[in-house]
Structure 1
């Protein structure tokens, strides 16, 4: 397979196939240069190959010309399903782990947390790289179905080890969705609507809410309380949570392939050198929704050939297993010094949030239970009711963040992340001084709301600052680093006492660092168009 990616034929020198003549010096300056000049609002216009940048200007102009349609609303919901499932699977294991431990009495209490993060790490890396190498469509159609099957099977696990295995496999399917969902949605969005990418993170909170509601419905009523007498027969509540969740994810996976038949995104096709396919996809959308569409294949071909390595005769498996493909996409994230700084800082942010988020959210049931006990609230019903209320509050953080991101008042994406991180830090410190049951619930709700302002914005910012041809890889590595720190948090949770305020202090300190890193990001997507 030819992996030469030198940038292809320069604009103004188009070589026809066969015996056709070579046409040179069409115009001066070149078509590529003029297109980039006209695309001054392009976020990465000077940071990527100029021929590819010129084509991206044309694609962005066409997407803006078509505007926002019902197709985009469908994508908002269907990609949002992936967000919801990722958080659902992540939190279910923490919700049911206590009851599963009573039944199986394992030697390593946080084994399920490690299992879910290992699965999500593998999923983020696999689906992330595959998104750039073989396309977005395959993962979009398959990942939720894989997750649903193993989510159902996890409910029938006969032992702690097999439960961990099925949770890992379920998380593998779900773990790629955070990589794909933002990528697919962004690459179809008109530039003025890119703020919706932040708003889409509200689905993450919805997934948490659903997990909390399932727990509230089943665990208080169908659970044992004594390890000595706990059996499969008198402790079915946690299994019901898995069965119900698996059925829910299966329904979502079916909706993905019935409501919309996703085609590869135009920006991915352009990066792969498939100009004619990109034109066809955009023209089909415009025709379906009766929108103008002035793009033509001639305009794209006049810019030159941006990539000559795509070989349709090479199979999917061979491309996935080719290390040169992986290296190429990793190098593309460090093409210039500015992009290298941006990529490094984005990945660092995912490392930090990867430790802070699970230290709080994954172990939140422990905090609520220990604090509730100190206030005389020993009822499992109250614990899971508070958990559901807390997760409801998390839905609205990304909604506020979405409106903040589209306003100059809050300095765009970077300012929103700084504000979200700093406010979260304040509430973390305040939470250590909680003295009443009402304060306990109020401050956990405030923290859930505020940390999702930062988290939701980071989810949107990350794909925006990666070039389209390497977006899946950049996203996959970012989420992968996040999952690695989730594994670390599980080890910390095993070694430390999570019922004390110490993890809360650690989380507060991490959010201070995250605010500083956000201020150092070299790119600000506000008012710009992503490649």
Structure 2
């Protein structure tokens, strides 16, 4: 009996070894075929090549992109278009709101700047809040996820805006302005990422069209200000000096328009915050993939597919098979993250412990990626200085450019500002068409920046308020195209692992340069055309700079 067992064991051993050998050869053959596929074409990973990121990650990202394309554009993406669009709305509405209330802060017994030259300190407080918010929310979205930042930014903005409406003095208003701007600063960096990462590649042009919400935000804020500030404010020729007659002095009780305005805007922001809870937004599947959590990646794709009435075309095994092909590069990382269960505290601790400067270093992983991040950050910075010089003081500028140097009335000022805002909507739609043509994102960005600068130069030749209004309408049209493309191009060219960090670097430099605009306003005469010339020149310089960017994402999926 023992001899028969021994004989059987000896007969089984060669077969077992042969089977293992066959499996190894099959695995090696699959790996070699995959490597040959990568080396045979530079477009295997679409916009990127193996020098830009880890090949295993890019291969899985490509599979996710194909899955989202198969699931298609459906109910989930339509709902996300609206709730994410609120971020664009808020990003433009609040800076415009600041410029609208600034000329009305002239109460002798309430909120007023210590002097005319210190008025721009309110703009400075806003830009400091936007700077901190842009850096914090965009970088934290790579740590704790997009969803938390997506919701909390609106809650913070709404609460502090309502509190600001009760400000007892100018210093308090500046502080509250910085606090609500901290929330506003995170809107676009986070919202653009969460929307892009749920879009099929054939619908990525919608990211440019999202700038329509930017124009809608400006329209809404001007309509509200026209109804409240224009009707519940002191006349523009009032004074905060006690040496003037009573009829010329503005008292707090007669100047509640800007307070009503902030209460209304804060309440509207909280309503949009509530709408984001009514529509269930899932964490980005590409964020989970970037963190190595393949289980949640598939779960999220399945949820999106169910809402769209489709089936998820890939499984967990498909992603794990890719890891096996690149076992030497990613096995240990993937396996450790697959073992993480739904333990909230442990998951947060692990996320925080894993975040370090590696995210920043990945932005400089290859020569093309390094050139891209440097150019994009510098581009955002130049525009960040140019735009506030024009936009932050447009109501005051329109007033000073009235017929025969006669200041416009409050109603005329807000009417003209509203007209300028409306022109942004067709601009965003045309921008969405242009980015899909042969000129692509880079060509559209170049043309819109150059024309924006030219129109600003042209506005200095206006002799009447109507001529000045026409120039500003053309500026609004082109600048909406420009911002739409810029806000779409930036998240498109950076893959999900570093998207939040890259956008954070760009947005932060944009806000840093924006801080200089009110400082210039403090020491410069803004009733002259000098700021317009500076702004126009910066836009033209940015247009030339945009042609040097190495990536063109038209027709290629973003990972």
With normalisation by structure 1, the TM-score equals 0.91
Deviations 1:485-526 (A, max 9, x none): 111101011111111111111111111111111100000000
The DSSP-based 3-state class of the residue aligned with 1:233 is: helix
Tell me by how many angstroms 1:378 deviates.
2.9
In structure 2, relative to structure 1, the CA distance for the partners of 1:48 and 1:382 (3 Å cut) is same
C-alpha distance in 2, partners of 1:28/1:101?
A: 77
* Aligned match of 1:12: none
C-alpha distance in 2, partners of 1:274/1:385?
A: 52
Tell me by how many angstroms 1:98 deviates.
1.5
In structure 2, relative to structure 1, the CA distance for the partners of 1:488 and 1:140 (3 Å cut) is same
* Aligned match of 1:115: 125
Would the aligned equivalents of 2:137 and 2:186 in 1 still touch at CA under 8 Å?
Answer: yes
The DSSP-based 3-state class of the residue aligned with 2:252 is: coil
* Aligned match of 1:366: 396
Matched ranges for 1:125-164 at <5 A: 125-164=135-174
Matched ranges for 1:443-482 at <5 A: 443-482=471-510
1:212 aligns with 2:222: yes
* Aligned match of 1:80: 85
Would the aligned equivalents of 1:372 and 1:383 in 2 still touch at CA under 8 Å?
Answer: no
Would the aligned equivalents of 2:380 and 2:510 in 1 still touch at CA under 8 Å?
Answer: yes
* Aligned match of 2:291: 272
C-alpha distance in 1, partners of 2:137/2:34?
A: 32
Would the aligned equivalents of 2:76 and 2:307 in 1 still touch at CA under 8 Å?
Answer: no
What is the aligned-residue RMSD (CA, Å)? 2.2
The DSSP-based 3-state class of the residue aligned with 1:390 is: helix
1:426 aligns with 2:436: no
1:262 aligns with 2:290: no
The DSSP-based 3-state class of the residue aligned with 1:303 is: helix
* Aligned match of 2:318: 299
Would the aligned equivalents of 2:421 and 2:476 in 1 still touch at CA under 8 Å?
Answer: yes
Match of 2:65 among 42, 60, 64: 60
Match of 2:307 among 274, 288, 294: 288
Matched ranges for 1:373-392 at <5 A: 374-392=404-422
Indicate the larger mover: 288-297 or 172-181. 288-297
Deviations 1:52-74 (A, max 9, x none): 01101110110111111011011
In structure 2, relative to structure 1, the CA distance for the partners of 1:373 and 1:110 (3 Å cut) is farther
* Aligned match of 1:237: 257
Unaligned runs of 5+ in 2: 1-20, 242-248, 324-329
The DSSP-based 3-state class of the residue aligned with 1:157 is: coil
1:507 aligns with 2:507: no
Deviations 1:130-161 (A, max 9, x none): 10011111111221111111111110111111
1:329 aligns with 2:359: yes
C-alpha distance in 2, partners of 1:32/1:458?
A: 35
Q: When you count helix as a share of all residues, which structure comes out higher?
A: 2
* Aligned match of 1:528: 556
The DSSP-based 3-state class of the residue aligned with 1:530 is: coil
The DSSP-based 3-state class of the residue aligned with 2:401 is: helix
* Aligned match of 2:11: none
* Aligned match of 2:426: 396
C-alpha distance in 1, partners of 2:44/2:351?
A: 35
Structure with greater Cα Rg: 2
C-alpha distance in 2, partners of 1:319/1:340?
A: 28
Indicate the larger mover: 390-399 or 335-344. 390-399
C-alpha distance in 1, partners of 2:448/2:97?
A: 26
Unaligned runs of 5+ in 1: 1-20
Would the aligned equivalents of 2:106 and 2:250 in 1 still touch at CA under 8 Å?
Answer: no
Residue correspondences, number: 507
In structure 2, relative to structure 1, the CA distance for the partners of 1:334 and 1:426 (3 Å cut) is same
* Aligned match of 2:326: none
1:252 aligns with 2:272: yes
Indicate the larger mover: 283-292 or 330-339. 283-292
* Aligned match of 1:10: none
* Aligned match of 2:29: 28
In structure 2, relative to structure 1, the CA distance for the partners of 1:388 and 1:472 (3 Å cut) is same
Matched ranges for 1:168-247 at <5 A: 168-225=178-235, 226=238, 227-228=240-241, 229-247=249-267
C-alpha distance in 1, partners of 2:37/2:149?
A: 33
Would the aligned equivalents of 1:35 and 1:54 in 2 still touch at CA under 8 Å?
Answer: no
The DSSP-based 3-state class of the residue aligned with 1:132 is: coil
Would the aligned equivalents of 2:400 and 2:407 in 1 still touch at CA under 8 Å?
Answer: no
Would the aligned equivalents of 1:134 and 1:316 in 2 still touch at CA under 8 Å?
Answer: no
1:44 aligns with 2:52: no
Tell me by how many angstroms 1:29 deviates.
4.8
Match of 2:379 among 346, 349, 357: 349
Would the aligned equivalents of 1:95 and 1:365 in 2 still touch at CA under 8 Å?
Answer: yes
Tell me by how many angstroms 1:326 deviates.
3.9
Would the aligned equivalents of 1:41 and 1:527 in 2 still touch at CA under 8 Å?
Answer: no
C-alpha distance in 2, partners of 1:496/1:285?
A: 53
Would the aligned equivalents of 1:405 and 1:413 in 2 still touch at CA under 8 Å?
Answer: yes
Tell me by how many angstroms 1:45 deviates.
3.9
